[in-house]
Amino acid sequence: MAFKKVTVTPMPDTAPAKVDHFPGEISSLVSEKPARPAPSRRSFTLAADARRAIPAAAQVGVWEAPDGWMLRRFDWPAERPRGRFLFQAGRGDSFEKYLETIAHLHLAGWSVTSLDWRGQGGSGRLSPDPYVGHVTDFGVYDADLAAFWQQWRSEDDGSRPAAILGHSMGGLLVMRALAAGTIDPAAAILVAPMLGLRSPLGAEMSGRIARYMARRLPMRAAWRQNERPGPVASRQRLLTHDIERYRDERWWHDASPGLQLGPPSWSWLSQAFDGCAALARDRRVEAIAVPVLMLVADADRLVDPRAAARVAPRLPNASLLRFGPESAHEILRESDDVRDRALSAMDAFLDDAVPA
Protein backbone atom coordinates (compact mmCIF):
# COMPACT_ATOMS: atom_id res chain seq x y z
CA MET A 1 0.00 0.00 0.00
CA ALA A 2 1.55 3.29 -1.07
CA PHE A 3 1.89 6.21 1.26
CA LYS A 4 3.89 9.40 1.30
CA LYS A 5 6.15 10.76 3.98
CA VAL A 6 5.98 14.41 4.99
CA THR A 7 8.24 16.22 7.44
CA VAL A 8 6.55 18.66 9.76
CA THR A 9 8.36 21.96 10.21
CA PRO A 10 10.08 21.70 13.59
CA MET A 11 9.58 24.14 16.39
CA PRO A 12 12.67 26.26 17.17
CA ASP A 13 15.47 24.31 18.86
CA THR A 14 13.68 20.97 18.50
CA ALA A 15 14.29 17.96 16.33
CA PRO A 16 11.80 17.49 13.48
CA ALA A 17 8.81 15.28 13.97
CA LYS A 18 8.11 12.98 11.06
CA VAL A 19 4.63 12.31 9.76
CA ASP A 20 3.71 9.37 7.57
CA HIS A 21 0.41 9.94 5.76
CA PHE A 22 -1.65 7.08 4.44
CA PRO A 23 -4.88 6.95 2.39
CA GLY A 24 -7.34 9.43 3.82
CA GLU A 25 -4.45 11.67 4.87
CA ILE A 26 -4.97 14.49 7.33
CA SER A 27 -4.50 17.54 5.14
CA SER A 28 -4.39 20.00 8.02
CA LEU A 29 -1.09 18.48 9.14
CA VAL A 30 0.76 18.97 5.85
CA SER A 31 2.24 22.06 4.30
CA GLU A 32 -0.11 22.14 1.29
CA LYS A 33 -2.93 23.38 3.53
CA PRO A 34 -2.46 25.57 6.61
CA ALA A 35 -3.77 24.15 9.85
CA ARG A 36 -6.85 25.74 11.36
CA PRO A 37 -5.84 28.49 13.76
CA ALA A 38 -6.42 27.53 17.36
CA PRO A 39 -4.33 29.88 19.47
CA SER A 40 -6.22 29.13 22.66
CA ARG A 41 -5.34 25.44 22.34
CA ARG A 42 -1.84 25.68 20.88
CA SER A 43 -0.30 25.05 24.25
CA PHE A 44 -2.02 23.94 27.43
CA THR A 45 0.24 23.44 30.39
CA LEU A 46 -0.97 23.05 33.95
CA ALA A 47 1.06 23.97 37.00
CA ALA A 48 1.99 21.06 39.25
CA ASP A 49 -0.68 21.89 41.85
CA ALA A 50 -3.39 21.75 39.16
CA ARG A 51 -2.05 18.46 37.79
CA ARG A 52 -2.34 17.06 41.28
CA ALA A 53 -6.02 17.81 41.88
CA ILE A 54 -9.27 16.33 40.58
CA PRO A 55 -11.16 19.09 38.71
CA ALA A 56 -14.08 20.42 40.73
CA ALA A 57 -16.61 19.67 37.98
CA ALA A 58 -15.37 16.11 37.45
CA GLN A 59 -16.86 12.99 38.99
CA VAL A 60 -15.09 9.83 40.11
CA GLY A 61 -17.29 6.77 40.41
CA VAL A 62 -17.45 3.10 39.49
CA TRP A 63 -18.75 1.05 36.62
CA GLU A 64 -19.96 -2.48 37.24
CA ALA A 65 -18.83 -4.91 34.56
CA PRO A 66 -21.25 -7.64 33.43
CA ASP A 67 -19.49 -10.14 35.73
CA GLY A 68 -19.90 -7.84 38.73
CA TRP A 69 -16.30 -6.50 38.88
CA MET A 70 -16.12 -2.83 39.87
CA LEU A 71 -13.93 -0.58 37.73
CA ARG A 72 -13.21 3.02 38.62
CA ARG A 73 -14.32 5.66 36.13
CA PHE A 74 -13.63 9.37 35.77
CA ASP A 75 -16.07 11.73 34.03
CA TRP A 76 -15.59 15.42 33.25
CA PRO A 77 -18.58 16.74 31.28
CA ALA A 78 -18.15 19.77 29.06
CA GLU A 79 -20.63 22.61 29.34
CA ARG A 80 -21.37 22.63 25.61
CA PRO A 81 -19.82 19.38 24.40
CA ARG A 82 -18.71 18.82 20.82
CA GLY A 83 -18.70 15.11 21.63
CA ARG A 84 -17.58 12.45 24.09
CA PHE A 85 -14.01 11.27 24.51
CA LEU A 86 -12.83 8.04 26.14
CA PHE A 87 -9.21 8.25 27.36
CA GLN A 88 -7.62 4.86 28.08
CA ALA A 89 -4.16 4.79 29.63
CA GLY A 90 -1.49 2.09 29.71
CA ARG A 91 -0.41 -0.79 31.93
CA GLY A 92 -0.10 0.23 35.55
CA ASP A 93 -1.60 3.68 34.94
CA SER A 94 -4.53 5.47 36.49
CA PHE A 95 -6.37 8.44 35.04
CA GLU A 96 -4.63 10.84 37.46
CA LYS A 97 -1.39 10.63 35.45
CA TYR A 98 -3.09 12.22 32.46
CA LEU A 99 -5.20 14.96 34.03
CA GLU A 100 -3.18 17.59 32.17
CA THR A 101 -4.00 16.12 28.76
CA ILE A 102 -7.57 15.41 29.81
CA ALA A 103 -7.86 19.11 30.70
CA HIS A 104 -6.65 20.02 27.21
CA LEU A 105 -9.33 17.83 25.65
CA HIS A 106 -11.95 19.26 27.97
CA LEU A 107 -10.93 22.80 27.00
CA ALA A 108 -11.41 21.79 23.37
CA GLY A 109 -15.05 20.98 24.14
CA TRP A 110 -14.96 17.25 24.82
CA SER A 111 -16.77 15.54 27.68
CA VAL A 112 -13.99 13.23 28.82
CA THR A 113 -14.26 9.82 30.47
CA SER A 114 -11.49 7.50 31.58
CA LEU A 115 -11.80 3.96 32.92
CA ASP A 116 -9.02 2.38 34.98
CA TRP A 117 -8.31 -1.02 33.46
CA ARG A 118 -9.29 -4.02 35.56
CA GLY A 119 -6.55 -5.00 37.97
CA GLN A 120 -4.86 -1.61 38.20
CA GLY A 121 -5.41 1.96 39.37
CA GLY A 122 -8.65 2.09 41.31
CA SER A 123 -10.11 -1.02 39.65
CA GLY A 124 -8.95 -3.68 42.10
CA ARG A 125 -6.26 -6.31 41.63
CA LEU A 126 -6.19 -9.69 39.90
CA SER A 127 -3.28 -11.02 41.97
CA PRO A 128 -2.89 -11.69 45.70
CA ASP A 129 0.11 -9.36 45.53
CA PRO A 130 -1.38 -5.87 44.96
CA TYR A 131 1.93 -4.67 43.57
CA VAL A 132 1.99 -7.15 40.64
CA GLY A 133 0.08 -6.32 37.46
CA HIS A 134 -1.56 -9.62 36.61
CA VAL A 135 -4.09 -10.87 34.10
CA THR A 136 -4.68 -14.38 32.82
CA ASP A 137 -6.09 -13.33 29.45
CA PHE A 138 -6.17 -10.00 27.62
CA GLY A 139 -9.67 -11.06 26.58
CA VAL A 140 -10.76 -9.78 30.01
CA TYR A 141 -9.68 -6.27 28.98
CA ASP A 142 -11.38 -6.70 25.59
CA ALA A 143 -14.66 -7.67 27.22
CA ASP A 144 -14.53 -4.75 29.66
CA LEU A 145 -13.87 -2.21 26.92
CA ALA A 146 -16.61 -3.59 24.68
CA ALA A 147 -19.21 -3.64 27.46
CA PHE A 148 -18.25 -0.23 28.82
CA TRP A 149 -18.31 1.33 25.35
CA GLN A 150 -21.84 0.12 24.74
CA GLN A 151 -23.11 1.42 28.08
CA TRP A 152 -21.15 4.66 27.83
CA ARG A 153 -22.58 5.39 24.37
CA SER A 154 -26.07 4.69 25.65
CA GLU A 155 -25.72 7.26 28.44
CA ASP A 156 -26.57 10.10 26.04
CA ASP A 157 -28.91 10.20 23.08
CA GLY A 158 -26.16 9.16 20.69
CA SER A 159 -26.38 12.36 18.69
CA ARG A 160 -22.85 13.51 19.57
CA PRO A 161 -19.76 11.85 18.10
CA ALA A 162 -17.41 9.81 20.26
CA ALA A 163 -13.64 9.52 20.01
CA ILE A 164 -11.15 7.32 21.84
CA LEU A 165 -7.48 7.48 22.80
CA GLY A 166 -5.37 4.55 23.90
CA HIS A 167 -1.87 4.92 25.35
CA SER A 168 0.61 2.03 25.33
CA MET A 169 -1.32 -1.10 26.41
CA GLY A 170 -4.46 0.96 25.89
CA GLY A 171 -3.37 1.47 22.28
CA LEU A 172 -3.17 -2.27 21.68
CA LEU A 173 -6.57 -2.82 23.28
CA VAL A 174 -8.16 -0.04 21.23
CA MET A 175 -6.71 -1.57 18.05
CA ARG A 176 -8.07 -4.99 19.01
CA ALA A 177 -11.50 -3.48 19.63
CA LEU A 178 -11.45 -1.63 16.30
CA ALA A 179 -10.48 -4.83 14.48
CA ALA A 180 -13.21 -6.80 16.27
CA GLY A 181 -15.81 -4.08 15.70
CA THR A 182 -16.77 -3.90 19.37
CA ILE A 183 -16.33 -0.10 19.44
CA ASP A 184 -17.36 2.40 16.77
CA PRO A 185 -15.66 5.75 17.42
CA ALA A 186 -15.63 8.59 14.92
CA ALA A 187 -11.86 8.85 15.46
CA ALA A 188 -9.12 6.99 17.35
CA ILE A 189 -5.75 8.19 18.63
CA LEU A 190 -3.02 5.72 19.60
CA VAL A 191 -0.15 7.14 21.66
CA ALA A 192 3.00 5.01 21.90
CA PRO A 193 0.78 1.99 21.19
CA MET A 194 2.00 -1.35 22.46
CA LEU A 195 1.87 -3.11 19.10
CA GLY A 196 5.23 -4.69 19.85
CA LEU A 197 7.48 -4.92 22.90
CA ARG A 198 11.13 -3.92 23.15
CA SER A 199 13.28 -6.88 24.17
CA PRO A 200 17.03 -7.48 23.90
CA LEU A 201 16.32 -11.10 22.96
CA GLY A 202 13.74 -10.28 20.31
CA ALA A 203 9.99 -10.74 20.47
CA GLU A 204 9.96 -14.40 19.39
CA MET A 205 12.47 -15.65 21.95
CA SER A 206 11.14 -13.41 24.72
CA GLY A 207 7.61 -14.57 23.99
CA ARG A 208 8.67 -18.20 24.31
CA ILE A 209 10.32 -17.50 27.67
CA ALA A 210 7.27 -15.62 28.91
CA ARG A 211 4.92 -18.43 27.87
CA TYR A 212 7.14 -21.02 29.57
CA MET A 213 7.21 -19.03 32.81
CA ALA A 214 3.48 -18.24 32.62
CA ARG A 215 2.69 -21.96 32.62
CA ARG A 216 4.73 -22.46 35.79
CA LEU A 217 4.55 -19.20 37.76
CA PRO A 218 1.72 -17.21 36.17
CA MET A 219 1.25 -14.70 39.03
CA ARG A 220 4.94 -14.23 39.81
CA ALA A 221 6.38 -10.82 38.92
CA ALA A 222 8.38 -11.10 35.71
CA TRP A 223 11.07 -8.93 37.30
CA ARG A 224 11.57 -7.16 40.59
CA GLN A 225 10.69 -3.55 39.83
CA ASN A 226 10.58 -0.82 37.19
CA GLU A 227 8.78 -0.93 33.81
CA ARG A 228 11.32 -3.42 32.46
CA PRO A 229 14.30 -5.31 33.92
CA GLY A 230 16.87 -2.80 35.15
CA PRO A 231 17.63 -0.38 37.99
CA VAL A 232 14.72 1.66 39.28
CA ALA A 233 16.77 4.84 38.83
CA SER A 234 16.34 4.43 35.06
CA ARG A 235 12.55 4.47 35.19
CA GLN A 236 12.19 8.21 34.68
CA ARG A 237 14.37 8.10 31.56
CA LEU A 238 12.24 5.29 30.16
CA LEU A 239 9.08 7.35 30.53
CA THR A 240 9.75 11.08 30.10
CA HIS A 241 12.45 13.76 30.01
CA ASP A 242 10.23 16.04 32.11
CA ILE A 243 11.18 15.49 35.74
CA GLU A 244 8.28 17.50 37.21
CA ARG A 245 5.66 15.59 35.25
CA TYR A 246 7.36 12.36 36.24
CA ARG A 247 7.08 13.40 39.88
CA ASP A 248 3.31 13.87 39.49
CA GLU A 249 2.87 10.09 39.48
CA ARG A 250 4.87 9.71 42.68
CA TRP A 251 2.75 12.44 44.27
CA TRP A 252 -0.47 10.59 43.42
CA HIS A 253 0.93 7.31 44.71
CA ASP A 254 1.91 8.95 47.99
CA ALA A 255 -1.55 10.52 48.27
CA SER A 256 -3.35 7.27 47.32
CA PRO A 257 -1.02 4.28 47.82
CA GLY A 258 -3.63 1.88 46.47
CA LEU A 259 -3.10 3.27 42.97
CA GLN A 260 0.49 2.09 42.70
CA LEU A 261 1.32 -0.98 40.64
CA GLY A 262 4.68 -2.60 40.09
CA PRO A 263 6.00 -5.00 37.45
CA PRO A 264 3.78 -7.28 35.38
CA SER A 265 3.28 -10.96 36.05
CA TRP A 266 4.63 -13.62 33.72
CA SER A 267 1.07 -14.25 32.60
CA TRP A 268 0.57 -10.59 31.65
CA LEU A 269 3.87 -10.57 29.77
CA SER A 270 3.01 -13.75 27.89
CA GLN A 271 -0.37 -12.31 26.92
CA ALA A 272 1.29 -9.08 25.79
CA PHE A 273 3.72 -10.85 23.44
CA ASP A 274 0.95 -13.10 22.12
CA GLY A 275 -1.45 -10.18 21.69
CA CYS A 276 1.04 -8.14 19.69
CA ALA A 277 1.87 -11.10 17.47
CA ALA A 278 -1.81 -11.87 16.90
CA LEU A 279 -2.58 -8.29 15.88
CA ALA A 280 0.31 -8.34 13.40
CA ARG A 281 -1.37 -11.33 11.71
CA ASP A 282 -4.96 -10.05 12.00
CA ARG A 283 -6.32 -9.38 8.51
CA ARG A 284 -9.23 -7.43 9.98
CA VAL A 285 -6.86 -4.50 10.49
CA GLU A 286 -7.10 -3.71 6.76
CA ALA A 287 -10.88 -3.27 7.15
CA ILE A 288 -10.77 -0.66 9.94
CA ALA A 289 -12.43 2.41 8.40
CA VAL A 290 -12.14 4.62 11.49
CA PRO A 291 -9.66 7.50 11.07
CA VAL A 292 -6.61 6.74 13.20
CA LEU A 293 -3.74 8.95 14.36
CA MET A 294 -0.65 7.26 15.80
CA LEU A 295 1.90 9.17 17.88
CA VAL A 296 5.12 7.19 18.14
CA ALA A 297 8.50 7.82 19.79
CA ASP A 298 11.30 6.26 17.76
CA ALA A 299 13.49 6.21 20.89
CA ASP A 300 10.86 4.38 22.95
CA ARG A 301 12.56 1.69 25.03
CA LEU A 302 9.36 0.02 26.28
CA VAL A 303 7.28 -0.61 23.18
CA ASP A 304 8.63 -1.21 19.68
CA PRO A 305 7.86 1.78 17.42
CA ARG A 306 8.73 -0.31 14.36
CA ALA A 307 5.64 -2.43 15.02
CA ALA A 308 3.43 0.66 14.86
CA ALA A 309 5.16 1.71 11.64
CA ARG A 310 4.33 -1.69 10.15
CA VAL A 311 0.68 -1.61 11.23
CA ALA A 312 -0.08 1.98 10.18
CA PRO A 313 0.15 1.45 6.39
CA ARG A 314 -2.31 -1.43 6.69
CA LEU A 315 -5.02 0.92 7.98
CA PRO A 316 -7.20 2.50 5.27
CA ASN A 317 -7.31 5.92 6.97
CA ALA A 318 -4.32 6.57 9.22
CA SER A 319 -1.47 8.98 9.87
CA LEU A 320 1.69 8.34 11.83
CA LEU A 321 3.46 11.16 13.69
CA ARG A 322 6.97 10.16 14.75
CA PHE A 323 9.20 11.80 17.35
CA GLY A 324 12.95 11.39 17.63
CA PRO A 325 15.28 11.22 20.65
CA GLU A 326 13.50 14.17 22.24
CA SER A 327 10.67 11.87 23.36
CA ALA A 328 10.55 8.82 25.59
CA HIS A 329 7.54 6.52 26.02
CA GLU A 330 5.03 8.91 27.62
CA ILE A 331 4.68 11.44 24.80
CA LEU A 332 1.79 13.26 26.46
CA ARG A 333 3.82 13.68 29.68
CA GLU A 334 6.97 14.82 27.92
CA SER A 335 8.63 18.24 27.92
CA ASP A 336 6.54 21.11 26.58
CA ASP A 337 8.04 21.16 23.07
CA VAL A 338 7.20 17.49 22.48
CA ARG A 339 3.84 17.67 24.19
CA ASP A 340 2.78 20.81 22.31
CA ARG A 341 3.53 19.17 18.96
CA ALA A 342 1.60 16.07 19.97
CA LEU A 343 -1.41 18.08 21.15
CA SER A 344 -1.38 20.23 18.02
CA ALA A 345 -1.43 17.08 15.89
CA MET A 346 -4.29 15.67 17.96
CA ASP A 347 -6.26 18.92 17.65
CA ALA A 348 -5.82 19.03 13.88
CA PHE A 349 -6.73 15.38 13.51
CA LEU A 350 -9.87 15.70 15.61
CA ASP A 351 -10.91 18.89 13.81
CA ASP A 352 -10.65 17.01 10.51
CA ALA A 353 -12.20 13.73 11.65
CA VAL A 354 -14.83 15.14 14.01
CA PRO A 355 -15.59 18.75 13.01
CA ALA A 356 -16.91 20.84 15.90
256-278 average pLDDT score: 97
pLDDT at 111: 98
Greater confidence (73 vs 38) lies with 73
Please write the tens of the pLDDT for every residue from 112-170.
999 999 999 999 999 999 999 999 999 999 999 999 999 999 998 778 999 999 999 99
The pLDDT-based confidence of 35 (bands split at 50, 70, 90) is very low
The pLDDT-based confidence of 41 (bands split at 50, 70, 90) is very low
187-195 average pLDDT score: 98
Greater confidence (261 vs 15) lies with 261
236-255 average pLDDT score: 95
pTM of the model: 0.88
CA–CA dist 74, 115 (Å, integer): 6
pLDDT exceeds cutoff 60 at 29: no
Measured in residues, the chain has a length of 356
Greater confidence (95 vs 33) lies with 95
pLDDT exceeds cutoff 50 at 266: yes
pLDDT at 52: 96
**Order of strands, edge to edge, in the sheet holding 318-323?**
4-7, 18-21, 318-323, 292-297, 187-191, 162-167, 83-88, 110-115, 70-76, 59-64
**pLDDT, the chain, mean:** 88
47-51 average pLDDT score: 90
29-39 average pLDDT score: 32
249 contacts 205 by C-beta, under 8 angstroms? no
CA–CA dist 156, 139 (Å, integer): 27
Please write the tens of the pLDDT for every residue from 195-230.
999 988 999 999 999 999 999 999 999 988 765 555
pLDDT at 100: 97
pLDDT exceeds cutoff 70 at 9: no
| Percent of residues, the chain, with pLDDT higher than 90 | 79
Among the four given CATH numbers 3.40.50.1820, 3.30.930.10, 3.40.50.720, 3.90.1300.10, the one describing domain 4-353: 3.40.50.1820
The ranges assigned to domains in the chain are: 4-353
